Amino acid sequence: MELKYYLSILRRRWMPFLMVPMMVGLFVMMQIIGADTTYSASAQLSVTRAPQQLEIDDFRYNEYYLFLSSEFLIDDLVEIVHGNVFAQDVHQRLLDEQGVDISAGEIQGSITADRQHRILTIDVSSHDPDRAVLIARVATDQLHADATRYFGFGEDERSAVVEPVQIAEHAGPSMGRDQVFWALQLAVALFGGVLLAFFIEYLDDRMHSSEMVEHALGLDVIAEVPRGKVD
């Protein structure tokens, strides 16, 4: 059937078609009104391997292999930042240096990490912008001071060099995930409204157009009586 046939169904069943999105839209509005603003602070660090300190006669890897090993190093560091051991270390550093007691569980749940080449990006989310900035800064300090320990390297020549390139200074509102969730709810509601309209049409045995008569009876319609009063 042609597209206009399906559009005619939606026009005819506009009430159920719009009812579902409207109800879900009201529900989404309630979520937006009651939602707590989440703030996000970001920091970036460069991650490289310390160059080998060898005698001139010894075999020395060139810079290519140094950068290649750094790529593997930062892959592992992303997972380390997500772990509870790192969160516990940040908790202890916060307690010792700032006198602030934030649980390791909250820290672990607030931190996400990603990488681009040899740059590690740490994002910290919290309902308190100052709290997000504080966690991001202390996490940066922890990696800068003690990143090598997480890899089990004991020798200085195998150390990881982690240097801050952007320190968290402020936290901005971040509702990206909530917005995607709300948009997804509305999209599903719209699809549900279409399905409901077509289901009601399926249960209706009446014929509402000449196209439906021709399709059901296999006969050509040669004339139609207009609906409404005739003068």
pLDDT in tens, 19-60: 888 998 888 888 777 767 788 999 999 887 766 555 554 555
The structure tokens listed for 124 are 């910290």
pLDDT in the model for residue 105: 92
**pLDDT score of 181:** 82
pLDDT at 1: 54
What's the DSSP call for residue 196? H
**Which residue has 């910290």 as its token pair?**
124
Give a yes or no: residue 9 inside a domain: yes
161-214 pLDDT, tens per residue?
888 989 998 888 776 667 788 888 889 999 988 998 888 888 877 766 677 777
| Judgement on whether residues 69 and 104 belong to the same structural domain of the protein | yes
The reply to whether 189 and 153 lie within a common domain is no
- Shared domain for 204 and 134, answered yes or no, is no
- What's the token pair of residue 90? 């940040």
Instruction: Count up the domains in the chain and report the number.
Output: 2
Quote the strand ranges of the chain, DSSP E. 39-49, 111-116, 119-126, 160-166, 172-173
Residue 230: per-residue pLDDT: 53
Residues 44, 129 within the same domain: yes
One domain for residues 10 and 116: no
What pLDDT sits at residue 173? Answer: 79
Would residue 229 count as lying in a domain?
no
pLDDT at 109 over 70: yes
Report pLDDT digits (tens) over 147-158: 888 877 666 656
72: pLDDT strictly greater than 70:
no
Structural domain that includes position 213: 3-34+178-217
Q: Are residues 82 and 115 in the same domain?
A: yes
- Are 51 and 69 in a shared domain? yes
Residue 228: band (very low, low, confident or very high) from pLDDT cuts 50, 70, 90: low
Tens of pLDDT, residues 167-180: 998 888 776 667 78
Does residue 226 lie in a domain region? no
Domain identity same for 13 and 119 = no
Contact 21, 193 (CB under 8 A): yes
Looking at the structure, do residues 60 and 88 belong to the same domain, yes or no? Answer: yes
| Residue 8 or 69, more confident | 8
Contact 203, 196 (CB under 8 A): no
Instruction: Indicate if 112 and 125 belong to the same structural domain.
Output: yes
Q: What confidence score (pLDDT) does residue 121 get?
A: 92
Task: With respect to residue 61, please indicate whether it lies within any of the assigned structural domains.
Answer: yes
What's the confidence (pLDDT) of residue 101?
92
Residue 49 within any structural domain of the chain: yes
Indicate which CATH number applies to the domain containing 69. 3.30.70
**Structure confidence at residue 159 as a pLDDT band (50, 70, 90):** confident
Domain boundary among 122, 144, 174: 174
CA gap 31, 206 in Å, rounded:
41
With cut-offs at 50, 70 and 90, classify the pLDDT of residue 136: very high
Amino acid 84: pLDDT: 92
Do residues 133 and 27 share a domain? no
* Residue 207 CB neighbours (<10 A): 13
- Between the ranges 14-18, 106-110, 207-211, where is the mean pLDDT highest? 106-110
**224 falls within a domain:** no
- Decide if 228 is inside a domain: no
227 lies in a domain?
no
Q: Are residues 134 and 68 in the same domain?
A: yes
